[in-house]
Chains A and B, each alone.
Chain A
Amino acid sequence: MFVFLLTDLFFYIIILTLLSYILYVRKTPDLLETWSYVFKNKTGALSVLVLSFFMIIALSDSIHFKNKVYDENNKKYTYTSEISSLLDIILLPIHENSEKSYSSPFSSKLYSKETVKIDKDIDKRVYPKLKYKGNHNLYSEKNIQNIFITIIISFVKTLFICFIMYLIIFYKTLFKNFKKITTYFLRNKFIYLSFFIILLIFISLYDLSIQYYVLGTDKVGEDVLYKSIKSIRTGILIGTLTTIVMLPFAIFLGIFAGYIGGFVDDIIQYIYTTLNSIPSVLLIASAILMLQVYMANNPIDFENVYERADLRLFFLCMILGLTSWTGLCRLLRGESMKLREIEYVQASQTFGLSKVSIIIRHIIPNIMHIVIITVVLDFSALVLAEAVLSYVNIGVDPTTYSWGNMINAARLEMSREPIVWWSLFAAFLFMFILVLFANLFSDAVRDAFDPRANKNYE
């Protein structure tokens, strides 16, 4: 049975918007031209590729099912309130079992010694073997050999998958025009090679983590790699949902203020200056507290952990959106003020076009590039902000998988002797990869869309 969490629905909306935007772009030659500029840029193309991998993971983590359990009494299955996502099911071999406590990456033993009874009276302190992973090498006894063979097998698998995809895409022209395809590949070799490497990394990570804890385990023995992957959804949601929340405010208020001006402008300016002048951390803190009051007063509405955590995530996005729309609004106000004075807008005014249709026809298409640049730029800032907010305890719910929560928990791990570094490392690594490519993407987008950008320098 499918379950739709609040953030799931919004995420679907985001994906749909994205898809329809892509369709729209394909139909609009001007836009297609600008976007193709993004793809011509090597870093731009690479970042689109990486980001779409992240998006796919987040999407598969946003399709939720209810778990079921067999009721012996009534001889039927009953649904429990536990929820798993599509990603959970795909990654089941990785996370279905958990160890007792910490173990380091690729280790076969726990990280701490325990007393084990050897004989009746003899106790010995040893590092206990891991129960589920690390001791079940598939191909070779030696770890390094085994890892090597696993990667090679993954390589073959990747080749195979790529070949299948190649067949699917080019089945029409496969045998007719072999040479054309080859030249096509050669011309786009960078992007295809990148795709191959990314896929290889994913598949070999998957294969490896069936046998090992690639990034170790955490305090309660959960696979850190799994935790980091699950955190992708939180990071992406915070980055995208927030903008979805803030966009309507920013666009409409910004245009109204700039285009209509006068009294409306004054009020809108007043609102965003006021909101802007409050330090956003304080605004977020008080909003999160308010949410907790609401949840405490209405416990019935929140049947399970997921819904509670989900609502908090949603609210966090809302409130982040509320604090971040002001910047874009100000930009749009300025731009629409400029556009108002431009000849063809003036002309359509004299022809008696209604204000609404002028806004839709002339203003909105001409400010879209600012919107896109801001949205892409904000994304990485928001992902980074999540970690800091969780650190101050006003971020996502502690039960949500998120990099911020991982870093927060790692504070205790850093003061162990010897230190447990892998949780912190994993969180920073994943966050870094996502934010890095988001930044590269935003660079490419800005270069393509910003009329002032110095295209000849890149």
Chain B
Amino acid sequence: MIKYILKRLVYIIPILIGVNLLTFALFFVVNSPDEIARLHLGNKRVTQEQIYAWNEERGYNNPLFYNNSEKGLDAIQKTIFYEKSLKLFLFDFGVSDSGRDIKYDIQQRMWPSLAIALPSLIVGVLINITFALFFVFFRSTYVDYFGVIICVALMSISSLFYIIGGQYLISKLLHLVPISGYAHGYDAVKFLILPVIISVIYGIGSGTRWYRSLFLEEIEKDYVKTAKSKGLSESSVLFNHVFKNALIPILTGIVVILPLLFLGSLIVESFFGIPGLGSYTIDAIQSQDFAIVRAMVFLGTILYIVGLILTDISYTLVDPRVRLK
């Protein structure tokens, strides 16, 4: 088991290097440091001299891969690639182009993201499973048929509509919760209600359908038929057998996305003014702060891979039959 995890961890490294090279190429091919400098220095009265100074301060005036003017190790270390890309491996995210320490900001902004994502996930999963069980109970009837159609309809609505509509109805017309904003600690609750509700509703369509198909697959299996033939009631078959056995794919499905919850949701966060990592990324894209984007790409990659490993582990924990090689 431990050997397997170690092996997976080693496997991460080439992937991270690949991601690193790719993002490096994208960001430094796209915008030359001069352009980034100009963007950040503002548009009034900017001189070449200031651009030079700005680049020097951030180490953007170094060559990309190899520094001819330096000797020894410095020839590699005093390059943009080393400073900006390789250092990510040490979780040294450096300073954003606007001058703030990225690591510090990420640590600060992680929690609001989690505060939305976690409740949305839990409430969402509970509601989706309830609906799915409900539909499965009434399978092959009109309840199920229309339920699926409603799910499809819910899936077909743009997420932007849920957000704009929800804000308009709940906050503007009914005055039930603040339109946007955030506060730390327990005060956060009233700001989180609406975004969580919206995230949950947005997920109902696809979630319910997904769980429904899981349950239906399980119901087809022989042991369920046996249980039924024994004369167990429908609901007890559903809960005691189908639901229990479907828990494995449900749990593993959740485990994959757990680490990614930290990254937050791009659109919801920026609409509701929640200072999480999602809005951090959006801001960085819009202000072309590549230092932050690079850091977020790196972080996202790591979390994604961690999710994959966790899934593998959870398989073995839930189902002892699965052996990892």
Contact = CB atoms under 8 A, between A and B. Distances in A.
Direct contact of A and B (CB under 8 A): yes
Interface of A: 43, 270, 273-279, 281-283, 285-287, 289-290, 293, 380, 384, 387-388, 391-394, 407, 414, 424, 428, 431-432, 435-436, 438-440, 443, 452, 454, 456-458
Shortest Cβ-Cβ A-B pairs, 3 listed: A274-B18, A435-B156, A436-B156
B210 to A, nearest CB: 12
B159 A384 contact: yes
Contact of A43 (B18, B27, B149, B281): B149
B22 A278 contact: yes
Contacts of A457: 139-140, 144, 216
A287 B293 CA distance: 13
A443 B152 contact: yes
Contact of A287 (B26, B296, B304): B26
A416 to B, nearest CB: 13
Contacts of B148: 443
B266 A282 contact: no
Among B30, B286, B304: residue with most chain A CB under 10 A: B30
A259 to B, nearest CB: 22
Contacts of A454: 216, 220
Contacts of B217: 452
B285 A282 contact: yes
A277 B19 contact: yes
A278 B157 contact: no
A282 B156 contact: no
A287 B144 CA distance: 43
Contacts of B157: 428, 432, 435
Given A289-B31, A394-B285, A414 B14 contact: no
Contacts of A283: 26
B11 to A, nearest CB: 9
Contacts of A440: 149, 152
Nearest to A403: B158
A282 B297 contact: yes
Contacts, number: 109
Contact of B266 (A275, A277, A392, A456): A392
B134 to A, nearest CB: 15
Contacts of B164: 414, 424
B142 interface: no
B265 to A, nearest CB: 11
Interface of B (DSSP majority class)? helix
Contacts of B149: 43, 440
B272 to A, nearest CB: 14
Nearest to B305: A277
B296 A392 contact: no
B58 to A, nearest CB: 19
7 contacts: A270-B14, A287-B26, A293-B30, A443-B152, A452-B217, A456-B140, A457-B140
Contact of B296 (A275, A279, A407): A279
A415 B281 CA distance: 25
Contacts of B160: 387-388, 391, 407
B80 interface: no
Contacts of B304: 276-277
Contacts of A275: 22
B22 A439 contact: no
A293 B26 CA distance: 12
Nearest to B35: A293
Nearest to B141: A457
B22 A392 contact: no
B155 interface: yes
Interface string B29-46: 111000000000000000
B158 A428 contact: yes
B158 A387 contact: yes
Contacts of B161: 428
Given A279-B297, A282-B297, 14 more contacts: A273-B15, A278-B23, A278-B301, A285-B293, A380-B156, A388-B267, A391-B160, A414-B164, A424-B164, A432-B157, A436-B156, A440-B149, A443-B152, A457-B140
B18 A290 contact: no
A194 to B, nearest CB: 16
Contact of A439 (B19, B23, B155, B266): B155
Nearest to B288: A289
Contacts of A277: 15, 19, 300-301, 304-305
Contacts of A436: 152-153, 156
Contacts of B155: 380, 435, 439
A278 B297 contact: yes
A290 B23 contact: no
A274 B296 contact: no
A286 B14 contact: no
